[in-house]
Structure 1
């Protein structure tokens, strides 16, 4: 019913491409600051890490097992619903959309046996663990401004050198999100991001 040329990724994905895509999803998720903060702060409970892995596995399955074109809105909606369900969170910083766009590009490249974006992510992987960076950022609100600026500049330079679409998930969050009266965590939007 759906034509392969109507959207991204209409054809079947090879085992090699599937494995590469799975690695790419893991690399993107490891650099996705909002998700790493959710995991580190156990927004999904004690098994938050397993829930992040479950989210990655369900996205890989969606790409590999669903027929027809893969549309941005479908992926972004699925990710948003699963994050809400798994972590009781609503990422309002547009990072879901940015990550979804990056994953769709990566999937399309994998279908063509082009693994260059995954290789760039491997090679430009920021030294240190994004979770520990998140811990530092969320744990020290008063003194992180000078350290954070230096790290963010270095990380932005590396991200620009690697690929423009990587920048959004590489930037650390400036402060720890606080639950509202209903217990929901609202991730604040990024400052100074141009959409033009």
Structure 2
């Protein structure tokens, strides 16, 4: 944990540009509300545009091997349907209908394909006054970002820039006051997406 100056900024070199404040309550570690923000954090619309840019730069896949609609069919013990450009257009309505049950069946390439659409949707529907059906989409998105990683790996497909925007996305869900997913967002951050996160440290020990 870096030393903080009087303004709450980390002293010395801090490559991640984060501010950390930890408190202990009832023998459980918790992050003090309002911190662990990226300095000069991005607003929703800016981050949505950044996610699109960062993923478009490295993603050449235009057709996912497994669609959310097909995954949803598998979950219902039906045969998965082939990709259809019209039926599988990743609109908000499509995500609401198929993401919750279908996301778990995606291979790494398909997960990577849908990720920017899921992040964009989640940022636009993170508040308590969002439609009720949006809760399942956001929860499924967060669950797909939790460790342990799959085999074959999903997380290894991500570039450093993509990991950074995912972390910024999770920070908004975890620490914006109007977010309906503060606890879940904080949990996912602590498990994998922060420097020295619980599962990252464990994974490194396993591979040494």
Q: Shorter-chain TM-score category? A: under 0.3
Structure-2-length-normalised TM-score? 0.27
Higher helix share: 1
Does 1 or 2 have the higher relative contact order (CA < 8 Å, sep 6+)? 1
Structure-1-length-normalised TM-score? 0.28
Q: Which has the larger radius of gyration?
A: 2
